[in-house]
């Protein structure tokens, strides 16, 4: 180290001594963690985290204009996100990912609020697992079981069961969890590959009159289409940064993380575009089931594809295994955020206590599991299953959007002494990602499905975002004071 510079591989990052000391402290604490993730695991984790089956239903709502909207979303958000995330991770390959990037670029308070919004995103998103499980099970078992996806008792029971399963897996750490994630990633690629082939087979068999998967249609400029575009861009294509939470549990994260992004992004883009076209071949936009769009397409297209009946439930099971795996990444990553905040004395040390054998934060795992079950149960109050699902999805990704605003602001507004301000092209990429994220957050309260009361739906969303962040600020103040007392004691 010389003149305020630190060399990491072939990378030279200038920074102040205080910033270098903060980085060194994080890396020192990360030394207690097992280094389980290699390049293959990171590539599969990227595919698993970014491809979210929920948002195929959102894209189908755009109808024939979906290809145009996907290409715009990739150009204006997905590529800029990949550039910015690679830049930040090369300079700060630290356990905690975006939380630590924001904290070191700005200050503890903003870093904590970023972690708070990331934590709320992952907690609320995990809470939809009960709704998804009952929906997919009803499709797999057939029409006689359609009641499952509308039964509050069944939904809450499934939610509790699967959250307990996620907590059990998280206890053993990434040594076990990475194989769950890898299997889930293979499942989604295999399932979507079959889905993409279905219309071509139906066309060949003569059960589908025509099929144009890459037809370009200009969408009309309406509030509805803007909302759909925002959800496709941000909701479907977000999360390239999420796996960076495990930088302290990865091998050579500064190098392998960028490689994983370059390998995964073209696969993700193709599967989203061709998968949406395949669903539209069998399901019109006004009939789409936003909770289970892919099982719905399989159910309707199986006969046209010439599939035996048993293939449909098997494909649906594979897709649910993908969901379970992606929830596993979300849940496990979410348990790391309170841990690293505790390292920084922004939360009590209770969250930092590691299991003596598996080196996982047991207290944080239990806490996250309890909040996820409570959130999923509360969302069902006064709402049907589909509305509860849309609320949880909207709330969770709006919190995620607030965290992403901070991420895209780092290359534009980070303190100069951090050495994090890049060249012109990366600043342009940051500006593009920032504007798309702002569009998504601004339109997040606008529903794309029929709801019982539009005013109440919007009030719930706006009110929750404001109250939750006010609570986050108060938690930061209280946690910082408690953490400082513990550090002194």
β partners of residue 7: 12
Give CA angle at 150 (375, 134), nearest 5°: 70
* CA-wise closest residue to 217 among 415, 55, 65: 65
The per-residue pLDDT for range 6-16, each reduced to its tens digit, is: 333 333 344 55
* Structure confidence at residue 31 (pLDDT): 61
For the segment 358-363, the average pLDDT, to the nearest whole number, is: 85
Which DSSP state fits 452?
A: S
* Structure confidence at residue 352 (pLDDT): 84
Q: Phi/psi at 13 (nearest 5 deg)? A: -120, 125
* Structure confidence at residue 275 (pLDDT): 93
Spatial contact of 181 and 328, defined as CB atoms under 8 Å apart: yes
Give the pLDDT band (50/70/90) at residue 300. Answer: confident
* Structure confidence at residue 70 (pLDDT): 95
More confidently predicted of 290 and 288: 288
Tokens for 80? 């800029």
Q: Is 60 exceeded by the pLDDT of residue 376?
A: yes
Give me the long-range contacts of 365-369 (CB less than 8 A, separation at least 24). Answer: 365/167, 365/170, 365/171, 365/335, 366/167, 367/338, 368/119, 368/122, 368/123, 368/126, 368/167, 368/331, 368/334, 368/335, 368/338, 369/163, 369/164, 369/166, 369/167, 369/331
pTM, two decimals, is 0.80
The per-residue pLDDT for range 226-277, each reduced to its tens digit, is: 888 888 888 889 888 888 777 777 888 878 888 999 999 999 999 999 999 9
Give the pLDDT band (50/70/90) at residue 26. Answer: low
Which DSSP state fits 451?
A: -
The per-residue pLDDT for range 422-431, each reduced to its tens digit, is: 778 899 999 9
* Structure confidence at residue 402 (pLDDT): 93
Give the pLDDT band (50/70/90) at residue 309. Answer: low
Tokens for 301? 């297209």
Q: Phi/psi at 307 (nearest 5 deg)? A: -85, 140
Exposed/middle/buried for 302, CB within 10 Å: 0-12, 13-18, 19+? middle
Q: What is the torsional sign of CA 64, 300, 297, 124?
A: positive
> How far apart are alpha carbons 98 and 405 in whole angstroms?
11
The per-residue pLDDT for range 27-83, each reduced to its tens digit, is: 666 666 677 788 898 899 899 889 988 789 889 988 889 999 999 999 999 999 999
For the segment 309-317, the average pLDDT, to the nearest whole number, is: 72
Q: Is 80 exceeded by the pLDDT of residue 140?
A: no
For the segment 191-199, the average pLDDT, to the nearest whole number, is: 88
Q: Which domains does the chain have, with CATH numbers?
A: 18-25+36-488 (1.20.1740.10)
* Structure confidence at residue 340 (pLDDT): 80
Lowest mean pLDDT across 158-162, 289-293, 417-421: 417-421
Average pLDDT, the chain: 81
Q: Phi/psi at 8 (nearest 5 deg)? A: -135, 105
Output the CA–CA distances (angstroms, integers) from residue 220 to 68, 118, 142, 225, 347, in the order listed: 11, 33, 38, 7, 48
* Structure confidence at residue 23 (pLDDT): 61
Q: Is 90 exceeded by the pLDDT of residue 406?
A: yes
For the segment 210-222, the average pLDDT, to the nearest whole number, is: 85
For the segment 282-304, the average pLDDT, to the nearest whole number, is: 79
Alpha carbon distance, N-terminus to C-terminus of the chain: 33
- Map tokens 């690629």 to a residue: 189
* Structure confidence at residue 429 (pLDDT): 93
The DSSP annotation for 379-419 comes to HTTTS-HHHHHHHHHHHHHHHHHHHHHHHHHHHHHS-GGGT
The per-residue pLDDT for range 437-465, each reduced to its tens digit, is: 988 888 776 655 555 556 666 677 778 88
Spatial contact of 167 and 318, defined as CB atoms under 8 Å apart: no
* Structure confidence at residue 254 (pLDDT): 76
* Structure confidence at residue 4 (pLDDT): 35
In percent, how much of the chain has pLDDT > 90?
Answer: 18
Q: Is 60 exceeded by the pLDDT of residue 405?
A: yes
């Amino acid at each position: 180290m010389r003149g305020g510079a630190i060399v990491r591989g072939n990378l030279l990052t200038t920074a102040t001594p205080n910033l270098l000391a903060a980085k060194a402290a994080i890396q020192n604490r990360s030394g207690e963690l097992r280094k389980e993730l290699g390049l293959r695991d990171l590539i599969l984790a990227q595919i698993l985290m970014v491809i979210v089956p929920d948002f195929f239903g959102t894209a189908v709502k755009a109808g024939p204009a979906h290809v145009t909207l996907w290409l715009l979303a990739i150009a204006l958000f997905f590529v800029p996100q990949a550039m910015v995330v690679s830049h930040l991770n090369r300079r700060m390959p630290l356990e905690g990912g975006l939380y630590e990037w924001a904290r070191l670029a700005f200050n503890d308070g903003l870093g904590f609020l970023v972690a708070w919004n990331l934590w709320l995103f992952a907690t609320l998103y995990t809470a939809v697992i009960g709704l998804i499980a009952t929906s997919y099970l009803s499709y797999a078992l057939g029409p006689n079981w359609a009641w499952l996806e509308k039964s509050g008792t069944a939904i809450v029971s499934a939610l509790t069961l699967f959250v307990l399963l996620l907590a059990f897996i998280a206890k053993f750490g990434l040594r076990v969890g990475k194989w769950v994630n890898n299997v889930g990633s293979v499942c989604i690629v295999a399932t979507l590959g079959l889905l993409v082939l279905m219309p071509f087979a139906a066309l060949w068999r003569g059960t589908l009159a025509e099929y144009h998967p890459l037809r370009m249609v200009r969408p009309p400029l309406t509030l509805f289409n803007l909302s759909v575009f925002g959800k496709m861009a941000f909701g479907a294509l977000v999360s390239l940064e999420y796996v960076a939470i495990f930088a302290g549990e990865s091998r050579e994260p500064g190098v392998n993380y960028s490689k994983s992004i370059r390998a995964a992004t073209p696969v993700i883009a193709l599967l989203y575009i061709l998968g949406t076209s395949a669903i539209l071949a069998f399901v019109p936009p006004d009939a789409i089931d936003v909770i289970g769009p892919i099982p719905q397409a399989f159910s309707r297209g199986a006969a046209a594809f010439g599939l035996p009946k048993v293939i449909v439930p098997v494909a649906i099971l594979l897709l649910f295994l993908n969901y379970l795996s992606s929830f596993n990444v979300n849940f496990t990553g979410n348990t790391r955020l309170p841990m690293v905040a505790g390292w920084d004395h922004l939360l009590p040390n209770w969250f930092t206590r590691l299991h003596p054998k598996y080196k996982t934060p047991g207290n944080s795992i239990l806490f996250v599991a309890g909040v996820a079950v409570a959130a999923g149960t509360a969302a069902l109050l006064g709402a049907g299953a589909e509305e509860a699902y849309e609320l949880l999805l909207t709330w969770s990704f709006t919190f995620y959007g607030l965290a992403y605003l901070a991420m895209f602001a780092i290359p534009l507004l980070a303190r100069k002494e951090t050495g994090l301000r890049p060249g012109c092209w990366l600043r342009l990429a940051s500006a593009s990602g920032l504007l798309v994220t702002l569009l998504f957050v601004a339109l997040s309260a606008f529903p794309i499905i029929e709801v019982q009361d539009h005013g109440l739906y919007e009030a719930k969303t706006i009110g929750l975002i404001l109250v939750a962040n006010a609570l986050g600020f108060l938690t930061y103040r209280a946690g910082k004071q408690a953490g400082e007392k513990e550090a002194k004691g």
